[in-house]
Amino acid sequence: MTLGVTQDGEQVLEMVQAGGWLMLPIIICSVVTLAIIVERIWSLQVRRVLPKNLVAQVWRWEKINQLNDKHLMELQSSSPLGCILASGILVRNESRDVMKNSIEDTGRHVVHELERYLNSLGTIAAITPLLGLLGTVIGMIKVFATITTQGVGNPGALAGGISEALITTAAGMSVAIPTLMFYRYFRGRVRMLVIRMEQEAMRMVEVMHGQRAHDIDESP
């Protein structure tokens, strides 16, 4: 079993070496992509962004006159939704429009945080195929240079350039395809979370102004 793993590792190393120096940035891109994907999967969990019953909790504090600075700080640091709600609560004695404007201002910053690293993910999805294509071009240049100096009678002399061309192309596409898939997935997930945060924030505004206080419940 150990021997098989060792042989597989040696084969992978040989492929990386055969791909030339462009394999290094492609490998770096793959490592960065994996780190971003793991971090975003953790950070964009619904329970972390939209804790359950948060508006109901805020309303309970308001009814018993405990919506104080301590609870506001707790709410603000609890989650992205809590941060948005706290910004509205700070001006709850003002008009409905003032509350909405405060929530929207904070919401822009929260959305920016939710989209953290997604531009980097999109950039990697765009450049890794180009790195692979560049490797293909360099490999083919080497092939034609070999043909010019040695002719086509020595297949072994041509193998190095052909291997570099094929390996870098395959490596670039192998990184780009899953990266693009996760990029699209995270963008869609952020849009979904933003819509739900807007709904919860508007619900709180209506509750604070007595428009829906009678039907506040324990639903998320």
Q: Is residue 18 a part of any domain in this protein? A: no
| pLDDT score, position 154 | 60
Query: What does pTM read for this prediction?
Result: 0.80
SS3 (DSSP) at 220? coil
Whether residue 193 is predicted with pLDDT greater than 90 in this model: the reply is: yes
In a domain, 32, yes or no: no
Q: Helix, strand, coil shares of the chain as percentages rounded to 5? A: 80, 0, 20
Residue 128 structure tokens: 């890794």
**Mean pLDDT value across the chain:** 82
**Residues 177-190, buried b or exposed e (16+ Cβ, 10 A)?**
eebbebbeebeebb
Under a CB-based contact definition with an 8 Å cutoff, are residues 176 and 24 in contact?
no
Please state the domain count of the chain.
1
The H or E element containing residue 169 is helix 155-208
Q: Is residue 167 in a domain?
A: yes
Q: What is the pLDDT of residues 78-123, one digit of tens each?
A: 899 989 988 888 887 777 888 888 888 998 999 999 999 999 999 9
Is 136 domain-assigned?
yes
Domain of 180 in residue numbering reads as 43-213
Asked if residue 23 is part of any domain, the answer here is no
Is residue 7 domain-resident?
no
Does residue 110 lie within any of the structural domains? yes
CB-based contact 85:58 (threshold 8 Å):
yes
Which candidate, 195, 188, 128, 166, places its Cα nearest to that of 18? Answer: 166
State yes or no: pLDDT of 12 exceeds 70: no
> What confidence category does residue 218 fall into, taking pLDDT thresholds of 50, 70 and 90?
very low
Q: If you average pLDDT over residues 143-166, what whole number do you get?
A: 67
201 in any annotated domain: yes
